[in-house]
Structure 1
Amino acid sequence: MVGKIKQILFLVIVTAVIFSFGLSVSAQDKEGTYRTVIEVQDFGPVITKVIVELGHPVPKGAVTKDTFNVHVEKTDPRVPEGGWGAHVEGDRTVTNAYVSDKDGNQIDNGTGKYAVLEMEIGPNDLLGSTVNYDFASGHNDWVDYDYTITQVNDIIAHPGKSGKISDLEIDTFAGETRVLVDDFTTGEATYGDITLSYADFKPVKDKGQNPLIIWLHGGGEGGVDPTIAIGANKAVAFASGEAQEIYGGAYVLAPQAPTYWMQGKTSPLDGTSIYSDALMALIQDYVANNPDIDPNRIYIGGASNGGYMTMLMIRDYPGYFAAAFPVCEGLFDTRVTDEDIVKMIQTPIWYVHSKADKVLNPNFTSIPTYNRMMEAGANNVYLSLFEDVHDTSGLYTNADGQPHEYDGHWSWIYVFNNAPTATIDGVKTTIMGWMAAQSN
């Protein structure tokens, strides 16, 4: 009997020791992993948070913004050492932290084995950005990045008990989520000797027909990775819940030129494009392969190079598109004939440009062409001419407290935020609301 009592006491002591000290976890016990979350902002795609694997369950409130230090190294292998964006390194600022599940959902009750670290972002913060512009190629591309998340304060695994997690150093990448970008699929199509990559978004299936929005990227987004065509700026906004509600569920097609839409048959900006025929063939094939697209509600628009191509498409295919929205477009008015004007105004058009645009001055493109259209009797053509391009979110300001001012060429920011408005039939109407109402 005494022997049994001793055995029971021994088990109790062992259990107590395990309970008291077994939860003390260090980097030597388990190497965790991290995942990144990329969200596309007005100023481009940025990593807004990391999801860190802790290895053991901890309660709500066990992690704070001071628990970890977050360090990042970014490289662009296309850029020679010392070039813009070839190597960027530094510590990110953690603004919020919470215990979560593996998908990053905050734990309100019970425990979780992961922690989300939200980080500061902004138009002047290069550490969070996930794309870089290579001046040699003239194109944006996704950068390579490595994070090291180092624990600087203990995590109490169970309040009131001695178990804790300490000394974690996490640098094993477990994947990324690109919000909205990942909702698109990608493909390519070849017509003659031209191959176009593309990204496309399909709306939730319904019993009706759906419009198609075609987005033509700017000069920096050419190449063979169409996720750049939608992700290097905020073109993914057309797949957002807000935009999809406006359009009643819309397809989005973002073709990508290997070089530039402005690459003319004789010279750049000559009023032609070597991609015109292939682009139209791709659009027609896409419509044919998705029979629930409403052929009377096909909308086309694009920025800069893409605005140039938008103008060519409505000139060369008058009446095919239900609406067009050229943004900071690059077709110089001297390349537009009076016969072109007559063809173009068969399509409802909404121009968007900034007076501060130093890349494509609206005085040589949008403004004179718009004026000629109005003189020719156009009755469904609008121009939103902004003084500059500035933050509309209220989140970012200059040193003087005024809204942060972006490059004057970036007027696509206004379009993606549905900011351009016009009074139509006595009603203030947004560009997306106007577009959604257009039908052949």
Structure 2
Amino acid sequence: MTSLTYATVTTLGDFGPWISKIILDLPHDVRAGDIAPDAFSAFCARRRRDGTIVMLKEKGSRVSLPSQGYIGIIDAYPCDEQGHRLAASSHVALETSEERLTKRIEGGVLGSQYVDCDITVTQVREISVVDGPVPLSGLVFDELRASLCPALERWNVGEMAEPIDGVSLKYGYFEPDFSPTDPALAGPFAKPAPKPQKAALLVYLHGAGEGVGEATWEGPERAYTGNRVTSLSQNPIQRYFDGAAWVLVPQCPTFWMDDGVEQLGHSNRSIYTAALKALIDEFVAEHTDQIDASRIVIAGLSNGGFMTVRMCLDYPDFFAAGIPCCAPFFTENQTPEVIKALGQTPLWFIHSKGDELVDPLDTALPLYHKLAEAGAEVHMTYFDHVEDLTGRYREADGTPKKTFNHGVWIHQFNDFCRTDLDGRNVLVDGEPVSCWEWAAAQRR
């Protein structure tokens, strides 16, 4: 058998990053009509960074089994080196199913790590070539050429120049394209609007599972790929900000809720507030000609939802808006002084009834009501439960896939947060808006 190279394409989905496509590098051109999914088999072994196989317990099982096996191939067709479909080519794309074996991250809400997906693709049926009478047979693709992820275009990583109190935060960031507006940003019937000379800055704070933790060898990429924070850099949400918004995603060394005594306590204080504010200031100063300091929006999920509230509380004159998602900011800390300070920043809370980790009755709901009673600009989208609203994911019986109710950030990233607690649409200038569209209208 001949050993050849392949590339993978990673999709950043609602349930984490996964390998959605394998690009095979063939020795000869093949035609679309001669390629079919059953011409190949794909075996994947998921390994930790030390080379060991990931061991997992499936539902109902008492023993851990190796996370390895054959993955589903949905479609096959000639393509270019990036996986775009062609009529004929020496590259072939295999579209793969989203399943446990194609997942790039393993872990839970309190800690996760990237894993390596070692893939071996074997040709199991002969394939005719464009020029030549001898068909291809017996090919094996087991050497990774490239790992591609289109959603990470224009994303970069960095680290604070000056530590604060011994804390230096690493971060990922998206740099918007300030070139003339892409017509796609305006839609098919609207006139393209010019992009701003200075763009808004969206600061997004990850959850507990995406901090550095034990994965000290990893960079900050997990902070914005572990959950689909990259949705903020894509057209639907960028469009609200005139087609150009910076995105800054700091990575916490432990947990944002770390108060120096407990990493996940109830004090609702953090040892990272000063360092995080310094990072934001440093980032704005580095891009002062292209960031509108009156349009800095902070948002976050779970642990990062807490930190969103904390930052708006500690710096009440700084942020244009805050969007805390399933935020554990507890009732005992919601003092009149806290409400007065928080009321200076427009806030939009997102939570789900029955949240298994953060009880809204002890956190977001009383905080929302106290702010509303104080006359603050505050909204809250409250879901009965969390299930897929995109139509992509289904249960075995065909109903929308349900997930744990804490994972309400899925709706935040899909831009489904549009109603207030009373079920009415949130309006800006009389027009219904989503939380991101509302944020784009805010100015400090």
Are 1:208 and 2:197 an aligned pair?
yes
| Residue matched to 1:234 | 228
Whole-Å Cα distance in 2 between the matches of residues 274 and 34 of structure 1?
45
| Residue matched to 2:129 | 157
Whole-Å Cα distance in 1 between the matches of residues 258 and 165 of structure 2?
17
| Residue matched to 2:237 | 243
Whole-Å Cα distance in 2 between the matches of residues 165 and 188 of structure 1?
49
Verify the 8 A CA contact 2:7 2:146 in the aligned structure 1: yes
Q: 1:400 to 1:81 in 2, by over 3 A?
A: closer
- 2:68 pairs, out of 74, 81, 89, with 89
Most deviating of 277-286 and 170-179: 170-179
Whole-Å Cα distance in 1 between the matches of residues 54 and 302 of structure 2?
30
| Residue matched to 2:439 | 435
Q: CA deviation at 1:385?
A: 0.5
Whole-Å Cα distance in 2 between the matches of residues 81 and 382 of structure 1?
42
3-state DSSP of counterpart to 1:155 = coil
Most deviating of 339-348 and 393-402: 393-402
Q: CA deviation at 1:266?
A: 3.7
Q: 1:82 to 1:93 in 2, by over 3 A?
A: closer
Q: Name the TM-score, length of structure 2 as normaliser.
A: 0.87
1:81-230 equivalences under 5 Å are 82=55, 87-108=66-87, 111-121=88-98, 125-133=99-107, 138-158=110-130, 162-189=133-160, 190-205=163-178, 208-223=197-212, 225-230=219-224
Verify the 8 A CA contact 1:351 1:383 in the aligned structure 2: yes
Most deviating of 221-230 and 83-92: 83-92
1:310-329 equivalences under 5 Å are 310-329=308-327
Give the number of aligned pairs. Answer: 403
3-state DSSP of counterpart to 1:146 = strand
Verify the 8 A CA contact 1:75 1:86 in the aligned structure 2: no
Q: CA deviation at 1:179?
A: 2.7
| Residue matched to 2:279 | 282
Whole-Å Cα distance in 1 between the matches of residues 56 and 37 of structure 2?
33
Q: Name the TM-score, length of structure 1 as normaliser.
A: 0.88
| Residue matched to 1:263 | 258
Whole-Å Cα distance in 1 between the matches of residues 108 and 48 of structure 2?
8
Q: Percent identity between the aligned chains?
A: 33
Verify the 8 A CA contact 1:62 1:99 in the aligned structure 2: no
Whole-Å Cα distance in 1 between the matches of residues 73 and 53 of structure 2?
31
Whole-Å Cα distance in 2 between the matches of residues 130 and 183 of structure 1?
21
Q: CA deviation at 1:306?
A: 0.2
Whole-Å Cα distance in 2 between the matches of residues 158 and 164 of structure 1?
9
Q: CA deviation at 1:400?
A: 3.1
Deviation per residue, 1:343-386 (Å, 9 max, x gap): 101111000000021100111110000000111112x2100010
Whole-Å Cα distance in 1 between the matches of residues 45 and 53 of structure 2?
16
- In structure 2, give the amino acid aligned to 1:96: D
- 1:60 pairs, out of 25, 32, 36, with 32
Are 1:401 and 2:398 an aligned pair?
yes
Whole-Å Cα distance in 2 between the matches of residues 399 and 104 of structure 1?
30
Whole-Å Cα distance in 2 between the matches of residues 246 and 87 of structure 1?
45
| Residue matched to 1:5 | none
| Residue matched to 1:368 | 366
- In structure 2, give the amino acid aligned to 1:101: D
Whole-Å Cα distance in 1 between the matches of residues 156 and 383 of structure 2?
34
1:68-79 equivalences under 5 Å are 68-77=40-49
- 1:304 pairs, out of 302, 305, 322, with 302
- In structure 1, give the amino acid aligned to 2:166: D
- 2:386 pairs, out of 372, 389, 405, with 389
Q: CA deviation at 1:82?
A: 4.3
- 1:333 pairs, out of 331, 334, 354, with 331
3-state DSSP of counterpart to 2:403 = coil
Instruction: List 4+ stretches of structure 1 deviating above 2 A.
Output: 59-62, 76-87, 265-269
Whole-Å Cα distance in 2 between the matches of residues 83 and 102 of structure 1?
34
Whole-Å Cα distance in 2 between the matches of residues 87 and 264 of structure 1?
38
- In structure 2, give the amino acid aligned to 1:428: P
Whole-Å Cα distance in 1 between the matches of residues 341 and 379 of structure 2?
16
- In structure 2, give the amino acid aligned to 1:253: L
Most deviating of 296-305 and 180-189: 180-189
Q: CA deviation at 1:163?
A: 2.1
Verify the 8 A CA contact 1:351 1:384 in the aligned structure 2: yes
Whole-Å Cα distance in 2 between the matches of residues 192 and 374 of structure 1?
36
Q: 1:350 to 1:427 in 2, by over 3 A?
A: same
Whole-Å Cα distance in 2 between the matches of residues 242 and 332 of structure 1?
33
Structure 1 unaligned spans of 5+: 1-26
Q: 1:97 to 1:414 in 2, by over 3 A?
A: same
- In structure 2, give the amino acid aligned to 1:403: P
Whole-Å Cα distance in 2 between the matches of residues 80 and 307 of structure 1?
34
